[in-house]
Chains A and B, each alone.
Chain A
Amino acid sequence: AQSVTQPDIHITVSEGASLELRCNYSYGATPYLFWYVQSPGQGLQLLLKYFSGDTLVQGIKGFEAEFKRSQSSFNLRKPSVHWSDAAEYFCAVGARAAGNKLTFGGGTRVLVKP
């Protein structure tokens, strides 16, 4: 069965500083990988997704993520954080062999200090 771990429950970062959120997955074959963001009181919004090809994926709002097969990781990064990036971020994994259903990680809440 597929699984996703987000080791950091909370991260606090200063505005303008860089941000990296960790995501580790468990799945035997090449998975489909996603990052979603949830602003307070809102539903989730897709930031980016990885299916195959270039392991560095660009998303919306200036985010990027890198797929590293050897480390079973798909970490999300942003070079310079804005106050509006304060939100909860979810990594998810899916696979055709699992009926395309997504499994979500527990989430990482990001706080941005002025």
Chain B
Amino acid sequence: NAGVTQTPKFQVLKTGQSMTLQCAQDMNHEYMSWYRQDPGMGLRLIHYSVGAGITDQGEVPNGYNVSRSTTEDFPLRLLSAAPSQTSVYFCASSPTSPIGGYTFGSGTRLTVV
């Protein structure tokens, strides 16, 4: 079982560049989320989706876009990268709700210079 797959694992961007972080799950989970992890701040919710075609903002959505065209995929787009977006990004999925417990991907470490 692949679980939650994130690509790439590492990325360096220049300020102003755009990119897409990929997330795919093969567990037929309805609920998917994107978090960023910064030292001492735990994980903060960027965007989430309760099912295909439905997305919503989390705690820190500015500078990021998402879409959910299929159950399996939930890409995160950085529109114009800024140094403040340097972070580790995690995608997570759950059958219907995070209350049931998340399955996390292994993360993408992004550096914006």
Contacts and interface: CB of A to CB of B under 8 A. Distances in A.
Do A and B pair up? The answer is yes
Interface of A: 4, 9, 32, 34, 36, 41-46, 49, 51, 90, 94, 96, 100-102, 104-107
A51 B97 CA distance: 14
Nearest to B91: A43
B8 interface: no
Given A104-B42, A106-B40, A32 B99 contact: yes
Nearest to B38: A106
A49 B97 CA distance: 14
Nearest to B40: A106
B40 A96 contact: no
Nearest to A41: B106
21 contacts: A4-B42, A9-B40, A34-B101, A36-B102, A41-B106, A43-B92, A43-B105, A43-B106, A44-B43, A44-B90, A44-B92, A45-B104, A46-B102, A51-B99, A90-B42, A100-B97, A101-B45, A101-B98, A102-B45, A106-B42, A107-B42
Interface string B83-113: 0000000101000011101101111000000
Nearest to A47: B101
Contacts of B42: 4, 90, 104-107
Contacts of A36: 102, 104
Contacts of B61: none
Given A102-B45, A106-B42, 9 more contacts: A4-B42, A43-B107, A44-B92, A44-B102, A44-B104, A46-B102, A96-B99, A100-B97, A101-B58
Top 8 A-B pairs, shortest CB-CB distance: A43-B104, A104-B42, A104-B43, A100-B97, A46-B101, A44-B104, A106-B42, A43-B106
B47 to A, nearest CB: 11
B99 A100 contact: yes
A100 B92 CA distance: 14
B74 interface: no
Contacts of A100: 97-99
A5 B45 CA distance: 17
